[in-house]
Chain A
Amino acid sequence: NAGVTQTPKFQVLKTGQSMTLQCAQDMNHEYMSWYRQDPGMGLRLIHYSVGAGITDQGEVPNGYNVSRSTTEDFPLRLLSAAPSQTSVYFCASSRTDRGGNTEAFFGQGTRLTVV
């Protein structure tokens, strides 16, 4: 069971370039999310999805797009990279039941540098 798989682990972009961060989960979780982690600011929610075909904005959505065509995949697209998007990005998935396993499961993160 792979859990949440995120690629790539590291990426350097030039300002203005676009790219897609990939995220896949094999736990059949309804919910998937993207966070960015910046020093002193914890993890902040970028976008999230409650199921295939349904996405919504989080706290810091500007400059990012998402789609959810399948339950398993939730890619994050940077449309035109800016230095302010230099960060560590985490994909997470979670379930909705009220029993055990209410936590978020995280990918290994992507360290993105925009120069």
Chain B
Amino acid sequence: AQTVTQSQPEMSVQEAETVTLSCTYDTSESDYYLFWYKQPPSRQMILVIRQEAYKQQNATENRFSVNFQKAAKSFSLKISDSQLGDAAMYFCAYRSAWNTGNQFYFGTGTSLTVIP
């Protein structure tokens, strides 16, 4: 099974500053998808950004962008101009493009605090 590692259990950032959350994964597959999900105190899992492994261009969604390094199996999330509403638990997730079960593998999460 694939493994996803988030080595930063907690991070903090000053409001309006930039923060980068790290994620690495282990796989022997060449085609897959990577995701960052946000979980605010409401508990709802919200998709932040997705990346297809066959695309070399890094995905961006407004203030959120990723640094996808396929050879290094690294997928970090950069949050620019941090806002108070960005405070949440962030999960990195992996999904094979081919497995019949469509399983998602999640990291252990990074708790982000935004300091006013």
Contact = CB atoms under 8 A, between A and B. Distances in A.
A50 B43 contact: no
Contact of A42 (B95, B102, B107): B107
Nearest to A58: B103
A31 B101 contact: yes
B43 to A, nearest CB: 5
Contact of A108 (B44, B97, B105, B109): B44
B109 A102 contact: no
Contacts of A30: 102
A48 interface: yes
A30 B101 CA distance: 10
By DSSP majority rule, is chain A's interface helix, strand, loop, or mixed? strand
A58 B97 CA distance: 18
Given A50-B102, A59-B1, A40 B9 contact: yes
A42 B108 contact: yes
A9 B69 CA distance: 38
A100 to B, nearest CB: 9
Interface size class of B (residues with CB under 8 A): 20 to 34
A106 B48 CA distance: 13
A11 B107 CA distance: 26
B108 A102 contact: no
A14 to B, nearest CB: 24
A33 B103 contact: yes
Contacts of A44: 106
B62 interface: no
A106 B45 CA distance: 6
Contacts of A88: 43
Given A33-B103, A43-B91, A109 B47 contact: no
Contact of B103 (A45, A96, A109): A45
Interface string B79-116: 00000000000010101010011111111110000000
Interface of B: 1, 4, 6, 9, 33, 35, 42-45, 47, 50, 52, 91, 93, 95, 97, 100-109
Given A48-B103, A108-B44, 12 more contacts: A30-B102, A40-B9, A41-B108, A48-B101, A90-B45, A92-B104, A98-B97, A103-B35, A103-B47, A104-B45, A104-B93, A109-B45
